[in-house]
Structure 1
């Protein structure tokens, strides 16, 4: 990786993000947070305050948003520093750090890119709906994606796997990557991930014992606690089934559909990873995570960025089509909200499940590509997938 130019570019990106975050916060009245103005960041901060005050995490709602904290107790422990700062500063710093994490992901994806190329691609990525939704809501997904990619692109490192376990402690769905690590032969990294995850669970019991007991025995199994599953923004298998059936699908049906699909994507990702394309392999593992989760809000799909960059090295047409889906926000081109998704006709279900269908199409494309020819000559050295190779 050429590091020349990274420091000044990173400074520019971070300063711009701080200003953007501060301006965005100033323009959103606190009572309108529910409409997207750092609503999730407000809930994170509230969760951190509850931990500091020794109060239950899941019994009350954030006064600014009327939403509950829904992540594991360890996530709330991590959010305690946010409760000590004024909200305007939290939004500015969070936006800056999220933007820096996005730039870091792009730098990992394109290891021969210059600093200014990373900056330009970062700016372009802001046009993708999952990315700008992540920033406006103040979501944590960009941080988790960056942490996971660090481990998955270099699992031979001494402490690889630890970040996967920590990410799973914040949001359970990254546990899918433990399976991926096992399938690619990195069992030591998978073991470290499980140990790190267990440590996060223990930390939750240490700092918020009552809330930890409630979460792991009751709240964990209440999927509806995070919002209506039929909403168009839920681009998961569970959400699609809810919209198709005009009601919450039976768990057995969901597992029968989502389980094999997620497993197929993990296996496919492992094959791609073993054949040299670590970036797309990790991306397919991430898609398995999004398919398997009962709720995958559109801002969870920030993995569209590294997946699209990985596709660029294989097929520019596929990459452009992929990015077009995530820039167009197709899933809200038809009536949505207040259960209007239950009234969709068959045609409306196609754009209404755009992210899910794009992922399934990618899976089919990747499987057919593997079947047609070997990737050994096209993927390049293990772990060195870059955006720039397509230009050679």
Structure 2
């Protein structure tokens, strides 16, 4: 009864919210790709935006090749293809995370998908038309499916994801620091191969991106915009221009601690915690991390709910505040005073970032209980560190 009520409530919330962004980013993908296919330089494409200024295509050229089908299809066909891929990706990745820890898989999946669909990163990914979930499928397939099976192809999908969009490269680092050297080197080779193949197909775009576009950082949007939940975005909201020395120091501290814990989790066999911590590090360290990039709340919630009762309260806080879109309140026309300034304003405008920082410390590392012979008995529960 309670589950049916929750499903109905979330369904109503989706109906009320609607598609406020009208697949805006999918439209940019299509326009940029078609501009390129018409013979223009890919990175000369710009789209004016009242909030963000001039927006351009910021992915590597391999990302443009991957997006060509969306440009070739009419708008309705592109939206249909995108919707099918994204919904399937959400269902598949949620199953990979939930099924191993669920007693009743059907009920667990209904509950999980209801909660996951309500989280702002998932909701905004879909309504903006972002390709985030396709990249998440590649990452999780490598780490949760291919790697545990000892596949020689483990690492290929992470490499392809990094070639499409640079931020997944954090998982190559994660593989290397957690001593999965073969998979890490395979990922590097995969990313390099995709990049070199693209350079052979589109030499001008490749030269422009790797020598100029990447280093200028133009066309990615306003760093101080509230939707940017990265360390750089936080500093940009405090002072403009942000202090880059402070940013580098924060990134080094965050990456050092986060990847240390991710490595620790991977070495004791807790892959879900390891990949979640690595994903959080990538989001915090990137100069631009929009709210719809924060997928890693999803595996974090699975870990918190299944770890122990003391972690359940934190899971509820994440679910409620991220589900309500707390950092977006100032962007949705809601009154900003008296909450827009001072400590309340800082907390609200950086709330997802602060939750991610907290997760670096709070997310429990679960290792199999050991018997005296040093083996993990199948009947014993996991211990939490």
Fold shared per TM-score above 0.5 = yes
Aligned match of 2:369: 377
Matched-pair contact (CA < 8 Å) for 2:155–2:183: yes
User: How far, CA to CA, are the matches of 2:35 and 2:186 in structure 1?
Assistant: 30
Aligned match of 1:8: none
Aligned match of 1:68: 56
Aligned match of 2:260: 267
Matched-pair contact (CA < 8 Å) for 2:60–2:206: yes
Pair 1:91-2:79 in alignment = yes
User: How far, CA to CA, are the matches of 2:317 and 2:382 in structure 1?
Assistant: 19
The change in CA–CA distance for 1:224 and 1:83 in structure 2 (over 3 A counts) is closer
- TM-superposed CA distance for 1:64, in Å, is 10
Give the superposed CA RMSD: 3.0
TM-score by length of 1: 0.80
- TM-superposed CA distance for 1:268, in Å, is 0.7
The change in CA–CA distance for 1:272 and 1:389 in structure 2 (over 3 A counts) is closer
Secondary structure of 2:31's counterpart equals: helix
- TM-superposed CA distance for 1:46, in Å, is 2.2
Matched-pair contact (CA < 8 Å) for 1:47–1:80: no
User: How far, CA to CA, are the matches of 1:348 and 1:132 in structure 2?
Assistant: 24
- TM-superposed CA distance for 1:107, in Å, is 0.8
Q: How many residues were matched structurally? A: 346
The change in CA–CA distance for 1:210 and 1:347 in structure 2 (over 3 A counts) is same
User: How far, CA to CA, are the matches of 1:169 and 1:241 in structure 2?
Assistant: 28
User: How far, CA to CA, are the matches of 1:332 and 1:357 in structure 2?
Assistant: 15
Note the 1:43-122 alignment, pairs <5 A: 43-62=28-47, 67-112=55-100, 113=102, 114-115=105-106, 117-122=108-113
Aligned match of 1:129: 120
Matched-pair contact (CA < 8 Å) for 2:158–2:187: yes
Matched-pair contact (CA < 8 Å) for 1:48–1:78: no
User: How far, CA to CA, are the matches of 2:332 and 2:49 in structure 1?
Assistant: 24
Note the 1:318-333 alignment, pairs <5 A: 318-333=314-329
User: How far, CA to CA, are the matches of 2:349 and 2:156 in structure 1?
Assistant: 37
- TM-superposed CA distance for 1:161, in Å, is 0.5
How far does the alpha carbon of each residue in 1:270-321 deviate from its partner, in whole angstroms, 9 at most, with x for none?
Answer: 2112223211111010000001100000000122112211221113223222
Pair 1:145-2:136 in alignment = yes
**Which residue of the other structure, out of 197, 201, 221, is the alignment partner of 1:203?**
197
Aligned match of 1:256: 249
Aligned match of 1:289: 282
Q: Which has the higher contact order (CA 8 A, sep 6+)?
A: 1
Matched-pair contact (CA < 8 Å) for 1:325–1:358: no
Matched-pair contact (CA < 8 Å) for 1:313–1:389: no
How far does the alpha carbon of each residue in 1:42-85 deviate from its partner, in whole angstroms, 9 at most, with x for none?
Answer: 11122332343342111123599974211111100111111221
**Which residue of the other structure, out of 337, 356, 362, is the alignment partner of 2:353?**
356
The change in CA–CA distance for 1:64 and 1:54 in structure 2 (over 3 A counts) is farther
Aligned match of 2:11: none
User: How far, CA to CA, are the matches of 2:234 and 2:332 in structure 1?
Assistant: 13
- TM-superposed CA distance for 1:324, in Å, is 2.2
The change in CA–CA distance for 1:67 and 1:335 in structure 2 (over 3 A counts) is closer
Which ranges of structure 2 fall in alignment gaps of 5 or more residues? 1-14
Aligned match of 1:304: 297
User: How far, CA to CA, are the matches of 2:314 and 2:342 in structure 1?
Assistant: 28
**Which residue of the other structure, out of 343, 347, 353, is the alignment partner of 2:344?**
347
Matched-pair contact (CA < 8 Å) for 1:283–1:307: yes
TM-score by length of 2: 0.82
